[in-house]
């Protein structure tokens, strides 16, 4: 017999992680399994839900085979997942087509048409903007990457699928349906459909007026529960797949942004955390509803019932390093044939450390798939700037790390203004937080103390497990801050300040001056 625990599932963009989280919050063991991403013409981004489930099944089997705990030790299940995705399912919960994920922008023209009007403010009809801000805290993004845009795309472009769909589910809610057979969304997961009244975060409800404005049929959206409600019990079929006893309680859970906040330990108001995975975000809990339309940020319901969390996202962060690895360093195209070593990220750290702060003047813009915050622009694209014949590999690698940090600084400025305070220190989680070089770069570029949490890659499964433990009455959110330890703190080095101040000024200038070029080059492919 092992220790009593919950099974925590984290469905990411590139892989899933499955963990056993003990009742005291300790992650006993964790296993991961990768799956592909399909990028399609016209801004499409999809994944196969069956491959999600198979990855979860394999990772769960790996966990139990290693023996940190057995199926009989599991008290319940909690899920977290990539946010702002859409799975169209039939009445039995079977996916009718590949899942449309958070990177997909094909619904942009339909969102813009639904939110347009006169007079126009910030790209929206003024009356519609005011109504949405008052009730939800935000409004559907013109980029078309919100969940509601995916539904409008299916309604217009794949009408048969739209008609056959019994329900549209967020990825996390699809997993819960696969586990229990029950359709439900949580107050936080449903937010990016922009059809809920969020004025009381403890009592979120659908708003028929907003749904009518968008043309969304509320009968195709699931009932609402909180993250700490038990949505159902593990079905016999799912139990057989996962090697678990049927009947285990399954918590409502939370999307990745909200579960990361719990898993970082930054659960009190104005305690920030910076997550760096495929994408990135910098956020914190706040005591009241607020919106910053200029920087595409708003307070939305948190995983903690009755609380608000600032929602924002940098579209590509760790994905930039993966892009460098797979397309420039180890791509198999006949010119260069190579397989990235397992410790490639550690090696890239060593290479980046060989370059001086500022990367010899080379700038990297990390906007490889458009951007959401601090600027909302689906046409912007990335690239290296100020490259010369004297530029060497260390400068290129370090410039990628610094470019992500410079974009985080841009967001941090907006976050300081949003909260009305200097957010310091900042807890750092996610795969990128494993890099000591990146931790120090973040401290230097942001000018804040960076607290690298212990086991930063486990933040999301820790958060999902913790939410499930609260749902089962085995934990309280007030305990989370003390359960998550800081491994190491990084303070800004005074000798780098002038270098990064100069780079930051140039970084924003790159966007401002090139924005018209991006629109000319990419507008026809929007």
> Residues 22, 5: contact at Cβ < 8 Å?
yes
> Residues 151, 168: contact at Cβ < 8 Å?
yes
Is pLDDT of 487 > 80? yes
Whole-Å CA distances, 185 to 175, 189, 191, 229, 328: 11, 6, 10, 11, 40
Average pLDDT over residues 246-262: 97
> Residues 176, 252: contact at Cβ < 8 Å?
yes
> Would you place residue 328 in the very low, low, confident or very high pLDDT band (cuts 50, 70, 90)?
confident
Beta bridge partners of 45: 39
Helix (DSSP H) and strand (DSSP E) numbers for the chain: 16, 29
Tokens 């962060």 correspond to: 317
Average pLDDT over residues 27-48: 96
C-alpha triplet 301, 468, 174: angle, nearest 5°: 70
Q: Which of 128, 127, 104 is nearest to 114 (CA)?
A: 128
> Residues 56, 461: contact at Cβ < 8 Å?
no
What are the backbone angles phi and psi of residue 32, rounded to the nearest 5°?
Answer: -135, 160
Please give the structure tokens belonging to residue 418: 């949003």
Is pLDDT of 526 > 80? no
Residue-wise pLDDT tens digits, 168-198:
999 999 999 999 999 999 999 999 999 999 9
What integer pLDDT is reported at residue 343 of this predicted model? 81
- Residues 6 or more apart whose CB falls under 8 angstroms from that of 169 comprise 86, 87, 89, 177, 183, 185, 222
Residue-wise pLDDT tens digits, 290-316:
999 899 999 999 999 999 999 999 999
Whole-Å CA distances, 448 to 314, 344, 494: 19, 28, 11
Average pLDDT over residues 481-487: 92
| Summary mean pLDDT of the chain | 95
Is pLDDT of 366 > 90? yes
- Alpha helix ranges (H) inside 100-170: 108-115, 126-136, 147-157, 159-164
What integer pLDDT is reported at residue 447 of this predicted model? 98
> Would you place residue 337 in the very low, low, confident or very high pLDDT band (cuts 50, 70, 90)?
low
Rounded to whole angstroms, how far apart are CA atoms 318 and 151? 28
> Would you place residue 515 in the very low, low, confident or very high pLDDT band (cuts 50, 70, 90)?
very high
Percent of the chain with pLDDT over 70: 98
Rounded to whole angstroms, how far apart are CA atoms 497 and 382? 24
Q: Which helix (H) or strand (E) holds 308?
A: strand 308-311
Residue-wise pLDDT tens digits, 420-440:
999 999 999 999 999 999 999
Average pLDDT over residues 374-390: 95
> Residues 275, 311: contact at Cβ < 8 Å?
no
What integer pLDDT is reported at residue 346 of this predicted model? 87
- Alpha helix ranges (H) inside 186-269: 208-214, 236-242, 256-264
Is pLDDT of 339 > 80? no
What integer pLDDT is reported at residue 32 of this predicted model? 97
Residue-wise pLDDT tens digits, 128-137:
999 999 999 9
Is pLDDT of 48 > 70? yes
pTM score over 0.85 = yes
Percent of the chain with pLDDT over 90: 92
Residue-wise pLDDT tens digits, 78-119:
999 999 999 999 999 999 999 999 999 999 999 999 999 999
Q: For 217-221, 336-340, 396-400, which range has the lowest pLDDT when averaged over its residues?
A: 336-340
Beta bridge partners of 22: 5
What integer pLDDT is reported at residue 503 of this predicted model? 98
What integer pLDDT is reported at residue 340 of this predicted model? 73
> Would you place residue 481 in the very low, low, confident or very high pLDDT band (cuts 50, 70, 90)?
confident
Cβ atoms within 10 Å, residue 396 = 21
The SS3 of residue 370 is strand
Rounded to whole angstroms, how far apart are CA atoms 141 and 111? 8
Q: Which helix (H) or strand (E) holds 168?
A: strand 167-169
What integer pLDDT is reported at residue 284 of this predicted model? 97
Rounded to whole angstroms, how far apart are CA atoms 368 and 326? 14
């Amino acid at each position: 017999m092992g220790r009593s625990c919950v099974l925590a599932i984290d469905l990411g963009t590139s892989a899933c992680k499955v963990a056993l989280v003990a009742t005291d919050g300790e992650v006993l063991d964790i296993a991961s399994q990768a799956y592909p991403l399909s990028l399609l013409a016209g801004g499409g981004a999809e994944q196969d839900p069956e491959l999600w489930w198979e990855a979860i099944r394999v990772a769960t089997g790996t966990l139990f085979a290693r023996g940190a705990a057995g199926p009989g030790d599991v008290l319940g299940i909690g899920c977290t997942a990539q946010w702002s995705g859409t799975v169209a399912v039939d009445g039995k919960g079977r996916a009718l087509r590949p899942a449309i994920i958070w990177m997909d922008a094909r619904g942009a023209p339909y969102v813009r048409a639904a939110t347009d009007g006169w007079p126009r403010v910030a790209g929206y009809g003024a009356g519609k903007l005011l109504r949405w801000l008052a009730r939800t805290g935000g409004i559907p993004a013109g980029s078309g990457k919100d969940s509601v845009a995916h539904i409008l795309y299916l309604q217009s472009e794949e009408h048969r699928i739209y008609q056959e769909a019994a329900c549209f589910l967020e990825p996390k809610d699809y997993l819960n349906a696969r586990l229990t057979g029950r359709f439900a969304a949580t107050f936080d997961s449903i937010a990016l459909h922009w059809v809920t009244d969020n004025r009381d975060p403890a009592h979120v409800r659908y708003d028929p007026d907003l749904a009518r404005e968008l043309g969304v049929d509320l009968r195709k959206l699931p009932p609402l529960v909180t993250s700490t409600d038990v949505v159902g019990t593990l079905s016999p079929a799912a139990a057989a797949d996962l090697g678990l006893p049927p009947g285990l309680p399954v918590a409502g859970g939370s999307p990745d942004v909200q579960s990361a906040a719990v898993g970082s330990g930054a659960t009190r108001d104005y305690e920030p955390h910076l997550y760096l995975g495929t994408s990135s975000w910098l956020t914190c809990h706040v005591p009241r509803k607020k919106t910053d339309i200029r920087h595409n940020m708003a307070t939305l319901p948190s995983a903690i019932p009755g609380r608000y969390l600032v929602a924002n996202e940098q579209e590509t962060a760790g994905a930039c390093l993966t892009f460098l690895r797979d397309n420039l360093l180890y791509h198999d195209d006949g010119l260069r044939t190579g397989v990235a070593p397992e410790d490639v990220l550690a090696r890239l750290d060593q290479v980046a450390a060989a370059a001086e702060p500022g990367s010899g003047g080379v700038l990297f813009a990390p906007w490889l798939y458009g951007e959401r915050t601090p600027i909302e622009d689906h046409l912007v694209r990335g690239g290296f700037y100020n490259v010369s014949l004297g530029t060497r590999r260390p400068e290129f690698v370090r410039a990628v790390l610094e470019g992500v940090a410079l974009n985080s600084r841009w967001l941090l400025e907006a976050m300081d203004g949003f909260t009305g305070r200097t957010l310091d220190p900042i807890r750092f989680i996610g795969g990128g937080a494993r890099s000591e070089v990146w931790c120090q770069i973040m401290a230097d570029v942001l000018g804040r103390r960076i607290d690298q949490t212990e086991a930063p890659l486990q933040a999301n499964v820790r958060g999902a497990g913790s939410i499930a433990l609260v749902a089962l009455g085995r934990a309280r959110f007030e305990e989370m801050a003390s359960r998550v330890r800081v491994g190491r703190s990084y303070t800004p080095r005074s000798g780098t300040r002038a270098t990064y101040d100069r780079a930051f000024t140039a970084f924003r200038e790159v966007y401002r001056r090139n924005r018209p070029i991006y629109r000319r080059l990419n507008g026809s492919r929007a």
